[in-house]
Amino acid sequence: MIFDPICAVATPRGFSALAVIRCSGMNVLERVMPFLKLNKNKIEPWRLYLTEFTVGDELIDELTVVFYKAPRSYTGEDMVEFISHGSPMVLKLIIETLFKAGFREAMPGEFTKRAVMNGKMNLLKAESIEVLINAKTRKAHEAASFIYQGKLGHSIEAIRQLLIKAMAEVEVELNYPGEVEASTEAVYSLLMEVKRLLEELVAHGENGIALTEGIRTVIAGRPNVGKSTLLNALLRKDRAIVTDIPGTTRDTIEEALSIDGTYFRIIDTAGIRKSDNPIEKLGINRSKQEIEQADLVIFMVDLTDPEQDLKLFESIKPRLKRYVLLGNKLDLAKCHEAVELCISANSGESLRDLEKKMLEKTADLSNPYEGELFITERQKALSNRALDYLNETLEALVGGVTMDIISSLLHQTIKILDELTGKHLQEDLLDTIFKNFCVGK
Amino acid sequence: MRSTIDDYSFDIVVVGAGHAGIEAGLASAKAGMKTLVLAINLDTVGWAPCNPAVGGPAKGVVAREVDALGGQIAKTTDKTAINIRMLNTSKGPAVRALRAQIDKKEYSIEMKRALENQENLYLRSAIATEILVENGKVAGVVTHFGQVYRCKAAIITTGTFLGGKIVIGPKAFEAGRLGEFPSKMLSESLKKLGFKLARFKTGTPARILGNSIDFSKMERQDTSDTPLAFSYFSEPRVLPKDSPCWLTKTNPRTHSIIRRDIQFSPLYGDVKLIHSIGPRYCPSIEDKVLKFSSKDSHQIFVEPEGRNTGEYYLNGLSTSLPFKTQVEMVHSVEGLEKAVIMRPAYAVEYDFVIPEQLHPTLESKLVENLYFAGQVNGTSGYEEAAGQGIVAGINASAKLKGAEPLVLKRSEAYIGVMIDDLVTRGVDEPYRLLTSRAEYRLMLRHDNAHLRLTEYGYRYGLIPRWFYDKVVIIREAINREVSRLNDIVLKPSNSVNNKLLSAGTTAIYQPTRLAQLLKRPEITYSLLKDFDPQPISDSSLAEQVETTMKYEGYINRLRQEINRFEKLENELIPGDIDYDKVPNLSTESKEKLKKLRPMSVGQAMRIPGIKPADILNLSTYLTSLKRRHNH
């Protein structure tokens, strides 16, 4: 059974004043009625009732209940929601009773998945809900809210319409030979416009992921330059083990940090040096990977011995998207002209300047771009795939590939966009998307 | 000798002898069914009341598909063609299509002969007035002479004749076509049986006397210099250049005449005689002028109607404006200044059966063993009609024999695309096949119709054994040649690269398989011969191999998608399913499913407005049914 009755506690576990239990599926009202002191025939949907939840003679809780009639509910199915006291014991007893009455526990995101499958919302909106719930900063909330309002959907639809226009040009010519001639230039310029929009979408789209998942910030440098000290200083707590033995940090350490409302994920890495220790070597390789994937690299230079650090920096510089070249140990030595900023991670001197620098360097990532943001890797991957197909189409067009293939490629590109917005749904795809959701949503 | 005793009892009665009726009748008779074909007028069997032409993009491919299934349209076209050309030659094999001008009268004579010579087939003149139904099944067809032809199945192919009405400007009269009786009572009979009918309109341009045309002012379009044939069974030939087509165009003066008199149009005027919808893809000249007001010229093809007639067809000048306006309009066109109009342009409005009332086999859901094919299903075009006709003929016979029906997939044939569109999505304007309707068009090509469909034609007894064997051999030869080209590795060298560069392609720097090289757009099979120790000489085979290689990558990607959907297509829904018993279906979807009664979960999914949740519920229910059945 797929749309069998499900239930779940929708509020966090633990003691609280109130809690919500959500139920959805077939015959939900009939299933919960035996436990309520209400007359089934008199119940109206979308109204709150105060009643008692009893099992046999035993009162479990006094609570309020509301019944939603399909399709006017969150999932598009019949639903019941209880607002009970937030006692873990009350919740446990109610849920156990519901299980006995034929409910099963909802899987993570199952309520939203059902909403998508019943046409209550599109995939983009559904994805934004999870991000909205988990938003850690004001800007992440803004990004999720843009998509929730359908703005990403509008941008994609605009691109889709351009593709359809290009397709129409091609099709008219194919179907009315001799009567109408499609201008290849018109098709080409339409596709170039699509390319521009898609590239913009992909570029700004990454910002959305940075906003919601945090800007990946890697602290890098040679051993014992003070990377772990800097991490602890930024977090204002002792997270990483700091010793004066070079190479103490063998694996990468990841921590979340909010600087003036912008969400950073700070990654402390093993110092880069030649090493024969196999474990340290693994760590060093990992560091190199992290550096390449980072949105921002803080490369640290030991001011007491800067030359080797600076040499290493020059060698990795071409692989960096954004960086801060930071001098450390200002408490022991003078600032160096080659670095951008000097601090003392130990004393905390000029730490605020570093934070400002981090914000400044990532300003392009943290400005939400209205309506053109992705918030999930799926959205990013599909947009990139659409762009790949488009580039293939453009190449084919320029390379003299015949129009029949061009029209087929255009068709495929449109289909990818439809998959992105959820016009074409696949069950296995939905499962992947919703498995990261919280239970009860 | 044919029986005279039992002349009123048949297996199958086909009502109508147009392009759908002919294929339906022949298919049914070839399948061994005693078949009666009824025509209102025996002198206009297989008539081409509009363009004197067969084929064109998508349509030409359909004619080849009908041929590969064992039909007649391509053969008769080859016999009676006076001008034939391959279209879209530079735009890729997938959209290439033949188009032939036919000698209209001879085409009709040849089609009548094909029916007359077919064993098991009886051709009679009559107007069908009523379908007899007993116990929910077809029992017979009644004609206006009062005869009752008993039968086990009937195929309705009445074209524009059901409730036909002709309109020229402010004048309207009842007719199936200009000068022919309409069929009024059959509409009533179908309505009484519960069928829902709606009305469409279509139009045809004026016919002009050739002697009155100044061809010197027009561009000449001759028949192809390459030998061509529509049918796999005909020898390709070069036709004599005695019947060219001519190209001219409308001008601002033509357009101002149209704008001036648009008030007298039965569609646009003050008194709207026509309320129905016409085809968007084959618009009247007034439609074109009003809708594309920025264009001050539209093309007109002047096409001969045959060798034994002086009449010419004005392709592109279809209209329902009054006769006086037509004369003025025609005279404003270059080369037609003194043209004599022999037959006026007219619009015809007719009843069609809403095609969602049909199964994908073209059998009606309301009455068992009653099939519909052609324009009566809301389509437009001879080829579309022929494609449905042969499928209806095959399926009616298969049903009576208890054999599996023929339902072509969207990935198998344009015919499959068309029928699926008709019965699943319905029509809101006369349906014409376009390449854009086929999502897998790279696979539905003019050049591979036999590879796709001959097996079906053979299975249903329409294709002779020798031809089926031939196709099997061709398929093997293609595969062999493809793997041979995959085995030959070309090493980069100066001489190789010089040859490649002079052929207009880029050099190679690594050992490259010939098959790989053939994938490049600028490389042809014959260019490869320089590097190939044993090239094949059969040029049509070489072309197949070339196309196969060039499309391989693209088609493999499409195949992945097709395979994903295949599972749903194969999940059949029992005919007696009770949708009220399917748990949790939304009311809206339940109504749609009850009305449409799709054959498979795949078809259900394509019904507009059906949600993914409904498909899951349906699929789950079907699985539980099966499980219960197995226990």
Non-local CB neighbours of B256 within 8 Å, separated by 6+ positions = none
Q: Which helix (H) or strand (E) holds A431?
A: helix A427-434
> Is B92's CB within 8 Å of A118's CB?
no
Architecture of domain A6-122: 2-Layer Sandwich (3.30)
B434 close to A (CB below 8 A): yes
Q: What confidence category does residue A377 fall into, taking pLDDT thresholds of 50, 70 and 90?
A: confident
Q: How far apart are CA A336 and CA B128, in angstroms?
A: 102
Phi (first) and psi of residue A265, to 5 degrees = -110, 110
> Is A404's CB within 8 Å of B58's CB?
no
A147: its two tokens: 């998509």
Residues of chain A with pLDDT > 90, as a percent, come to: 33
Sheet hosting strand B153-156, strand order edge to edge = B121-125, B35-39, B12-15, B153-156, B370-372
pTM of the model: 0.82
Pick A174's closest partner by Cβ from B88, B522, B616.
Answer: B88
Helix, strand and coil percent figures for chain A, each rounded to 5? 50, 20, 35
pLDDT for the residue B608: 83
A193: its two tokens: 């416009």
> Is B442's CB within 8 Å of A404's CB?
yes
Q: How far apart are CA B221 and CA B84, in angstroms?
A: 10
Q: Which residue of B has its CA nearest to A119?
A: B611
B599 close to A (CB below 8 A): no
Across-strand partners of B98? B86
Classify burial at B559, counting beta carbons within 10 Å of its beta carbon; exposed 0-12, middle 13-18, buried 19 or more: middle
> Is B617's CB within 8 Å of A2's CB?
yes
pLDDT for the residue B3: 45
> Tens of pLDDT along B481-520?
999 999 999 999 998 899 888 888 889 999 999 999 999 8
Three-state DSSP class for residue B206: coil
Chain A hits for B554, Cβ within 8 Å:
405, 408-409
For chain A, give every domain's residue range: 6-122, 138-207+375-424, 213-366
Per-residue pLDDT, averaged over A216-231, amounts to 88
Chain A hits for B521, Cβ within 8 Å:
396, 399-402
- Residues in A whose CB is inside 8 Å of some CB of B read 1-3, 25-26, 70-71, 76-77, 114, 116-119, 167, 171, 173-179, 396, 399-405, 407-409, 411-412, 425-427
B442 close to A (CB below 8 A): yes
- The full DSSP string for A135-201 is --SHHHHHHHHHHHTTHHHHHHHHHHHHHHHHHHHHHHHHHSTTT----HHHHHHHHHHHHHHHHHH
Count Cβ–Cβ pairs < 8 Å, chain A vs chain B. 103
> Is A409's CB within 8 Å of B554's CB?
yes
Q: Which of A92-96, A409-413, B168-172, B598-602 has the lowest mean pLDDT?
A: B168-172
Q: How far is B34 from chain A (nearest CA, A)?
A: 40
Q: Which of B607, B596, B601, B606 is nearest to B439 (CA)?
A: B606
Q: What confidence category does residue B2 fall into, taking pLDDT thresholds of 50, 70 and 90?
A: very low
Q: Which residue of A has its CA nearest to B95?
A: A404
- The full DSSP string for B116-170 is HHSTTEEEEE--EEEEEEETTEEEEEEETTS-EEE-SEEEE--TT-BT-EEEETT
pLDDT for the residue B90: 85
Q: Which residue of B has its CA nearest to A77?
A: B584
Q: Which residue of A has its CA nearest to B506?
A: A399
> Tens of pLDDT along B362-376?
999 999 999 999 999
Q: Which of B115, B231, B123 is nearest to B463 (CA)?
A: B231
The interface pTM score, or ipTM, of the predicted complex is 0.78
Q: Give the CA angle between residues B52, B56, B62 to the nearest 5°.
A: 105
Q: How far apart are CA B133 and CA B28, in angstroms?
A: 20
Per-residue pLDDT, averaged over B306-323, amounts to 91
Q: How far apart are CA B520 and CA B305, in angstroms?
A: 43
pLDDT for the residue A429: 55
A264: its two tokens: 């950073």
> Tens of pLDDT along B257-275?
999 998 887 766 555 556 6
Pick from A202-211, A360-369, A401-410, B322-331 the range whose average pLDDT is largest: B322-331
| Mean predicted lDDT score pLDDT of chain A | 84
Q: Which of A143, A133, A137 is nearest to A437 (CA)?
A: A133
Q: What confidence category does residue A1 fall into, taking pLDDT thresholds of 50, 70 and 90?
A: very low
Q: What confidence category does residue B223 fall into, taking pLDDT thresholds of 50, 70 and 90?
A: very high
Q: How far is B558 from chain A (nearest CA, A)?
A: 9
CB atoms within 10 A of CB B628: 8
Q: Which of A402, A414, A425 to mutate to test the interface with B (most CBs of B within 10 A)?
A: A402
Chain A hits for B620, Cβ within 8 Å:
1-2
B191: its two tokens: 């309505």
Return left, alpha or beta for B385; rule: phi > 0 is left, psi -120 to 50 is alpha, else beta. alpha
Q: What confidence category does residue A26 fall into, taking pLDDT thresholds of 50, 70 and 90?
A: confident
- The full DSSP string for B213-234 is --GGGSEEEPPPSS-B-SSTTS
B297 close to A (CB below 8 A): no
Per-residue pLDDT, averaged over B297-318, amounts to 93
B613 close to A (CB below 8 A): yes
B533 close to A (CB below 8 A): no
> Tens of pLDDT along A268-323?
887 777 777 777 777 777 778 888 888 899 999 999 999 989 998 998 888 888 99
> Is B87's CB within 8 Å of A408's CB?
no
Three-state DSSP class for residue A110: helix
Matching CATH number, A213-366, of 3.20.20.70, 3.40.50.300, 3.30.230.80, 3.60.15.10: 3.40.50.300
B620 close to A (CB below 8 A): yes
Chain B hits for A177, Cβ within 8 Å:
56-57, 87-88, 91
Parallel, antiparallel, or unpaired: how do β-strands B346-353 and B370-372 relate? unpaired
Q: Is the pLDDT of residue A242 over 70?
A: no
> Is A76's CB within 8 Å of B92's CB?
no
Q: Which residue of A has its CA nearest to B565?
A: A426
Q: Are A76 and A70 in contact (CB under 8 A)?
A: yes
Residues of chain B with pLDDT > 70, as a percent, come to: 96
Q: Which helix (H) or strand (E) holds B534?
A: none
Q: Which of B51, B62, B88, B297 to mutate to test the interface with A (most CBs of A within 10 A)?
A: B88
CATH of segment(s) A138-207+375-424: 1.20.120.430
Q: Are B157 and B322 in contact (CB under 8 A)?
A: no
Domains in chain B (CATH in brackets) are: 12-202+350-465 (3.50.50.60), 207-349 (2.40.30.260), 482-556 (1.10.10.1800), 571-630 (1.10.150.570)
Q: Is the pLDDT of residue A39 over 70?
A: yes
pLDDT for the residue B296: 85
> Tens of pLDDT along B533-573?
888 988 889 999 999 999 988 898 888 888 877 888 888 89
Three-state DSSP class for residue B523: coil
Q: Is the pLDDT of residue B293 over 90?
A: no
Per-residue pLDDT, averaged over B39-44, amounts to 94
Q: Are A407 and A187 in contact (CB under 8 A)?
A: no
Q: How far apart are CA B3 and CA B178, in angstroms?
A: 36
Q: Is the pLDDT of residue A249 over 70?
A: no
Q: Is the pLDDT of residue B304 over 90?
A: yes
Q: Is the pLDDT of residue A433 over 60?
A: no
- The full DSSP string for B379-431 is B-SHHHHHHHHHHHHHHHHHHHHTPPP----TTT-HHHHHHHIIIII--SS-B
What is the number of H-type helices and E-type strands within chain A?
Answer: 15, 12
Per-residue pLDDT, averaged over B56-65, amounts to 96
Q: Is the pLDDT of residue B139 over 70?
A: yes
Pick A171's closest partner by Cβ from B87, B435, B557.
Answer: B435
> Tens of pLDDT along B84-131?
999 988 888 888 999 999 999 999 999 999 999 999 999 999 999 999
Chain B hits for A123, Cβ within 8 Å:
none
